[in-house]
């Protein structure tokens, strides 16, 4: 059959590279074909999720940053300083985590989705119009976040004025000064030209960008065991590929930003400068538990245990 797979980035960005590898593996090992729909071809993140739930799409990549309303527990990925920034640790974690592969798998299934994989897209950096050295510098800054209630809480706790927006509004919003900051992984700051409309990049180490790929569950359940295996194997080999692919990516893309815009400042906050962001983290974690109750608390604890177990 011919299957459809939509994602939130372009074909040459991380989600697109993953999708391309997945498609190649499925097509090499079955009679099925996959048509890829990059960002913008079928709408925003929220639109492609609806299409996947309705079965119009067989596969979708939607980051937990947009899944908070559907699956409140998925907001756990926005507790600041919960995830490490070390890429090797992260690579082991997403692959082996019980919280992801069992607990989240069940929560996505309740929404009609078969969770195939979660993978990292790199440490997020803040880009702003004014320099950021501490939380105080975020005062009065309208800071765009993905449409995720806990991410809103994070940036409130950091001292900013969080502004949840779909991706399509971000470049123009910065250009017209409706917002004055946003966060994303380094590669994305270059590929989307976000560096053109902000002047300062700040690494606070508070998070790594997580994304998730799933299949429509009715579709997936109707497949033969052989086809399910083709999909599982494709998801696993694309995972290994995307982890390798991202080695050195943040560094090379940052270099391109500096070449394109030499006046851009790049600051890695010191431990001392991170103090207020780290203090905010405890508050955000408490908020997460308040929002999600026992179920969220259990998944948070499992996730912490999984992170510890994959430290290496």
Q: Classify the C-alpha dihedral 106-242-48-171 as positive or negative.
A: positive
Give the tokens for residue 158. Answer: 């950091």
Q: Does 8 bind ligand 6CS (CB under 6 A)?
A: yes
Give the tokens for residue 111. Answer: 């929404």
The contact pattern for ligand 6CS, residues 14-53, with x = CB under 6 A and - = no contact, is: -------------------------------x--------
* Least distance in angstroms from the C-beta of 95 to ligand 6CS: 20
* Least distance in angstroms from the C-beta of 15 to ligand 6CS: 6
* Least distance in angstroms from the C-beta of 113 to ligand 6CS: 18
Instruction: State how far the Cα of 183 lies from the Cα of 143, in Å rounded to an integer.
Output: 8
Q: Does 63 bind ligand 6CS (CB under 6 A)?
A: yes
The contact pattern for ligand 6CS, residues 173-202, with x = CB under 6 A and - = no contact, is: -----------xx--x--------------
**CB nearer ligand 6CS, residue 176 or residue 222:** 176
- Long-range CB pairs of 291-298, under 8 A, 24+ apart, other chains included: 291/72, 291/75, 291/149, 291/150, 292/72, 292/73, 292/75, 292/76, 295/73, 296/72, 296/73, 296/75, 296/76, 298/103
Q: Indicate the pairing of strand 59-61 with strand 113-128.
A: unpaired
Q: Does 67 bind ligand 6CS (CB under 6 A)?
A: no
* Least distance in angstroms from the C-beta of 39 to ligand 6CS: 7
* Least distance in angstroms from the C-beta of 136 to ligand 6CS: 25
**CB nearer ligand 6CS, residue 132 or residue 230:** 132
Instruction: State how far the Cα of 240 lies from the Cα of 246, in Å rounded to an integer.
Output: 10
**CB nearer ligand 6CS, residue 18 or residue 81:** 18
For 201, residues 6+ apart whose C-beta sits below 8 A from its C-beta are 125, 126, 127, 186, 189, 195, 254, 257, 264, 265, 266, 267
The CB-side HSE value for 42 (13 A sphere, CA atoms) comes to 23
Instruction: State how far the Cα of 141 lies from the Cα of 127, in Å rounded to an integer.
Output: 11
Give the number of other Cβ atoms within 10 Å of residue 242's Cβ. Answer: 22
Element at 163 (helix H, strand E)? strand 161-164
Exactly one of 77, 143, 155, 209 binds ligand 6CS (CB under 6 A); which one? 209
Q: Does 154 bind ligand 6CS (CB under 6 A)?
A: no
**CB nearer ligand 6CS, residue 209 or residue 220:** 209
Tell which positions 244-263 bind ligand 6CS, by CB under 6 A.
none
Exactly one of 90, 146, 230, 284 binds ligand 6CS (CB under 6 A); which one? 146
* Least distance in angstroms from the C-beta of 14 to ligand 6CS: 7
Give the tokens for residue 237. Answer: 């080999």
Tell which positions 107-136 bind ligand 6CS, by CB under 6 A.
121
Q: Classify the C-alpha dihedral 39-45-48-49 as positive or negative.
A: positive
* Least distance in angstroms from the C-beta of 225 to ligand 6CS: 33
Region of residue 99 (phi > 0: left; psi between -120 and 50: alpha; otherwise: beta): alpha
Nearest to 190 by CA among 120, 247, 261: 261
**CB nearer ligand 6CS, residue 18 or residue 188:** 188
* Least distance in angstroms from the C-beta of 189 to ligand 6CS: 9
Sites of contact with ligand 6CS (CB under 6 A): 8-9, 45, 63, 121, 146, 167, 184-185, 188, 209
């Amino acid at each position: 059959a011919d299957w459809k797979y939509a994602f939130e980035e372009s074909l040459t960005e991380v989600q697109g590279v993953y999708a391309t590898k997945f498609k190649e593996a499925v097509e090499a090992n079955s009679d099925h074909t996959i048509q890829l729909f990059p960002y913008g071809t079928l709408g925003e993140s929220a639109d492609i999720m609806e299409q996947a739930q309705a079965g119009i799409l067989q596969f979708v990549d939607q980051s937990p940053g947009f899944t908070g309303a559907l699956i409140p527990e998925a907001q756990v990925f926005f507790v600041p300083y919960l995830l490490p920034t070390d890429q090797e640790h992260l690579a082991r974690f997403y692959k082996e985590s019980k919280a992801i592969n069992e607990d989240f798998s069940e929560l996505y299934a309740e929404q009609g989705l078969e969770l195939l994989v979660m993978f990292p897209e790199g440490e997020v950096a803040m880009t702003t119009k004014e320099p950021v050295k501490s939380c105080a510098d975020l005062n009065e800054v309208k800071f765009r976040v993905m449409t995720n209630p806990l991410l809103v809480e994070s940036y409130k706790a950091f001292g900013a004025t969080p502004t949840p927006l779909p991706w399509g509004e971000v470049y123009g919003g910065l250009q017209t000064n409706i917002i004055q900051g946003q966060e994303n992984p380094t590669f994305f700051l270059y590929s989307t030209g976000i560096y053109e409309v902000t002047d300062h990049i700040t690494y606070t180490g508070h998070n790594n960008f997580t994304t998730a790929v799933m299949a429509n569950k009715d579709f997936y359940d109707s497949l033969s065991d052989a086809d399910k295996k083709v999909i599982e194997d494709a998801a696993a080999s694309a995972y290994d590929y995307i982890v390798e692919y991202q080695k050195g990516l943040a560094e090379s893309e940052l270099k391109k930003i500096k070449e394109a815009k030499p006046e851009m400042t790049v600051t890695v906050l010191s431990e001392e400068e991170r103090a207020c962001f780290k203090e905010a983290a405890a508050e955000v974690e408490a908020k997460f538990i308040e929002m999600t109750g026992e179920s969220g608390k259990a998944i948070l604890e499992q996730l912490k245990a999984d992170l510890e177990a994959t430290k290496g």
